[in-house]
């Protein structure tokens, strides 16, 4: 404790020392994580900006103190073989539920759509003739995505032999993916579809609703797709968000190099 009682008495060194202390084992009985320390420093900077605006101090001693950098978490992606296993375990293709689940997973991996974008699709959003699907992403921004052959065939089969069976029990909805009562499939139910398929496929990796989206982006970049094209497909407002996938690809390239080049090791 430094005995500072007035905001105007705080110096840049005081703020910098406080920021450094957040990562010390002596603070609150243990060091804060980089993310928690960064949030704390951001809050301190906000307080000092407020104090300056309110004329409680003549300078902002925190403006040159940067939050600690946090490591970027690499998105988890499945190998293509595991994606095939996951989709193949979606269910019985002779049943409406199996057709629906198969179509949902093919759509998620085939387009990179978010789970929320998939479950809010309307029938008119799908153009099987031109092999496109129109999704509504964050900020209500629409984007038209290409449908691959696998996804198009799975969706076509579901619309003809699966959705029609669900629709007769409901009150009428234009949503593509329905539950057994004919109502729109919820996010929780869509997550259960993914979880159940992963369990039947006996995948070691933890599979989340975003896993197929991550796999979609990673596999495109590994196949040579331009990062800005992937950005458009994913609906990212900034290419910086998409570039995290290039880190995954770079790691893959390194592994291939180490195992393939005669003088790598």
Q: Active-site residues: which are they?
A: 114, 138, 210, 213, 236, 245
Q: How far apart are CA 179 and CA 226, in angstroms?
A: 37
Cβ(244)–Cβ(251) under 8 Å? Answer: no
Cα 187 to its chain centre, rounded Å, is 15
Helix (H, G, I), strand (E, B) or coil at 127: strand
CA torsion sign for 63, 65, 68, 72 is positive
- Of 229, 231, 232, 191, nearest to 212 by C-alpha is 191
Neighbours of 231 (CB within 10 A): 19
3 state DSSP class of 135: strand
């Amino acid at each position: 404790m430094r005995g500072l009682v007035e905001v105007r008495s705080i110096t840049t060194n005081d703020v910098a020392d406080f920021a450094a202390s957040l990562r010390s084992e002596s603070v609150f009985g243990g060091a804060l994580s980089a993310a928690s320390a960064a949030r704390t420093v951001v809050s301190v900077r906000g307080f000092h900006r407020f104090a300056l605006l309110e004329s409680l101090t003549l300078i902002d001693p925190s403006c040159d103190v940067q939050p600690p950098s946090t490591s970027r978490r690499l998105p988890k992606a499945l190998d293509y073989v595991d994606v095939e296993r996951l989709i193949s375990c979606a269910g019985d293709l002779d049943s409406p539920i199996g057709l629906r689940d198969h179509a949902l997973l093919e759509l998620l991996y085939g387009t990179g759509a978010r789970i929320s974008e998939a479950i809010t699709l309307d029938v008119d959003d799908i153009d099987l003739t031109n092999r496109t699907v129109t999704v509504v992403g964050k900020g209500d921004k629409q984007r038209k995505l290409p449908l691959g052959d696998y996804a198009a065939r799975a969706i076509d089969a579901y619309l003809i032999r699966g959705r029609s069976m669900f629709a007769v029990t409901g009150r009428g909805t234009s949503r593509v993916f329905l539950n057994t009562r004919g109502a729109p499939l919820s996010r929780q139910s869509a997550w259960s579809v993914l979880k159940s398929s992963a369990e039947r496929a006996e995948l070691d990796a933890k599979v989340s609703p975003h896993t197929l989206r991550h796999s979609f982006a990673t596999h495109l970049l590994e196949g040579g797709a331009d990062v800005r094209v992937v950005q458009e497909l994913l609906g990212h407002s900034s290419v910086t968000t998409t570039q995290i996938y290039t880190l995954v690809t770079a790691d893959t390239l390194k592994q291939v190099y180490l195992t393939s080049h005669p003088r790598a090791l």
